Amino acid sequence: MFQKYVFPIIIFALSTAIFLYSPLLSQSFHPNKTQSQYFVSAKVENIIDENVFEDDLAPGIYRGTQHLKIKVLEGEHANETVEINNPLSRQHNVLLDKGSEFILMIRETIHGSHFWAFNHQRTTPIYTMAAVFIGLILFFGGRAGLNAVISLYFTAALIIGVLIPAIFDGINPALVTIELMAIKIVVNFILVSGYNKKSLCAILGTLVGVIMAGIFAQTFGEWAHLSGIYLDKGEDVIYLATENPIQVRWLMFVTIMIAALGAVMDVAISIASSYQELQQANPKLTPKQLMLASMNIGKDIMGTMTNTLILAFAGSSLTTIMMVWGLSMPVEQFMNTPVIALSIIHGLAGSIGIVLTIPFTAFIASKIFNHQNNEEPVINANVNNALDK
């Protein structure tokens, strides 16, 4: 019984080690702070004065100013009581009440310490929602749910603890992403489906799909004169580099591989599972018949998954699309807007990766699974119907 948990325990320990030691190992090339500032928790003890009013154009948003007496809860200034002014605008809107906990930014200058109400304290609802999410996975998924949570934890460790430091160290983002995603794919399928031929098919199919998605995104992105600098904060990260410049050109490849990975993994395991189930239902089916039947099953998956990626990228650009519509921008100008063009190429590249994953996974399965040779295979009615579509 314990053997079933050995691999998950190893992956959990490895993920924790990455989170613990990555900051130490990456300290030499970690971006230096340009200003002496840090963020701590604080609490409003009293509202000395305020002049706020509801925004006519954005109901529920209040603008104006607040004069607050606050208590710093942690850091060098812990337990100190200070008074701050809290200006409220549409962009910076941290409206506070008596007793509210919030994030305070403290900036140290030659003229002393400056305090600013930086943000609302949002960790409690976020951690609570994450706990509900994990609880539901564990309740309904059991051991499989536990493995899924560990897989997510491992993914976060690879991206935060390895990929991002490697990019800041000047390593080629495309190469390191392929390596890390390959590791992630192998670990994920072993955790979720076990070490078997079905997992191997899904691993290889997923790797092919996400790499092809990245290649298409990079190729057509550069053809459209786009690069990672047009990504959100793409230009800002350039100035964070220390000795080694960030290879921002390849960030498009990285983002599409990460964004499309989940959908491609779903497609690959679905095709591999379908192939295996069809073979077990009728062992006399030939590899070609099984491959065609699996690809027919993949047609239905293709329709939903491609919509998933396109809608995800459309949702991330919704406000930009609203601005374009509101300004009555011509179609040509709309299509040539860098943010819109980048979202379209990402959505299409991810969808291409999904489409290619289906035949590749089915083909790989036809080579990996064992088959019985029979000159006159018996084909059941369900498979006949699938082949006739």
Q: Where are the domains of the chain?
A: 37-121, 169-388
| Interatomic CA distance for residues 245 and 145, integer angstroms | 40
| From 126-140, 264-278, 368-382, the region with the lowest mean pLDDT | 368-382
> C-alpha distances in angstroms, 121 versus 51, 95, 96, 302?
22, 12, 11, 41
pLDDT band for 77, please (50, 70, 90 cuts): confident
Of the two residues 303 and 32, the one the predictor is more confident about is 303
Instruction: Write down the pLDDT at residue 381.
Output: 44
CA dihedral 248, 252, 258, 264 (to 10 degrees): -160
Query: Which of the two residues, 313 and 8, has the higher pLDDT score?
Result: 8
Options 1.10.472, 2.40.50, 3.40.50, 1.10.3470; CATH for 37-121 is 2.40.50
Average pLDDT over every residue of 192-206:
89
Which CATH number applies to 169-388: 1.20.1640, 3.90.1750, 1.10.3470, 3.30.70?
1.20.1640
Task: Report the distance separating Cα 179 and Cα 342, nearest Å.
Answer: 24
Which pLDDT score is estimated for 388? 47
Q: Are 188 and 149 in contact (CB under 8 A)?
A: no
Nearest of 263, 257, 278 to residue 362 by alpha carbon = 278
- Amino acid type, 32: N
Contact by Cβ (8 Å): 146, 8 = yes
Q: Determine the pLDDT at residue 335.
A: 78
Map residue 375 onto helix, strand or coil: coil
- Going by pLDDT thresholds of 50, 70 and 90, the confidence category of residue 152 is very high
Mean pLDDT for the stretch of residues 27-51: 82
Whether the per-residue pLDDT at 250 is higher than 90: the answer is no
Domains 37-121 and 169-388 share a fold: no
Note the Cα 209 to chain centre separation in Å: 17
Q: What is the pLDDT of residue 143?
A: 87
Tell me the average pLDDT of the chain.
84
CB burial readout 322-352, b (16+ within 10 A) else e? eebeeeebeeeeeeebebbbbbbbbbbbbbb
Question: Quick check: 166 pLDDT over 70?
Answer: yes
How confident is the model over 375-384, as pLDDT tens digits?
434 444 444 4
pLDDT at 252 over 70: yes
* pLDDT at residue 200 in the model: 92
Q: What is the pLDDT of residue 372?
A: 55
Look at residue 374 in the predicted model and tell me its pLDDT: 42
Rounded average pLDDT over 297-301:
85
CB 297 within 8 A of CB 271: yes
The rounded Cα 354 to chain-centroid distance in angstroms is 17
State the average pLDDT over residues 285-295: 89
Say if residue 387's pLDDT is above 50.
no
Q: Could you give phi then psi for residue 95, rounded to 5 degrees? A: -75, 125
**Does the pLDDT at position 13 exceed 80?**
yes
Predicted local confidence at residue 30, as pLDDT: 73
For the chain, how many helices (H) and strands (E)?
12, 5
**Which strand (E) or helix (H) includes residue 117?**
strand 112-120
Report the range of poorest mean pLDDT among 30-34, 76-80, 141-145. Answer: 30-34
Q: Kindly indicate the confidence band of residue 371, based on its pLDDT and cuts at 50, 70 and 90.
A: low
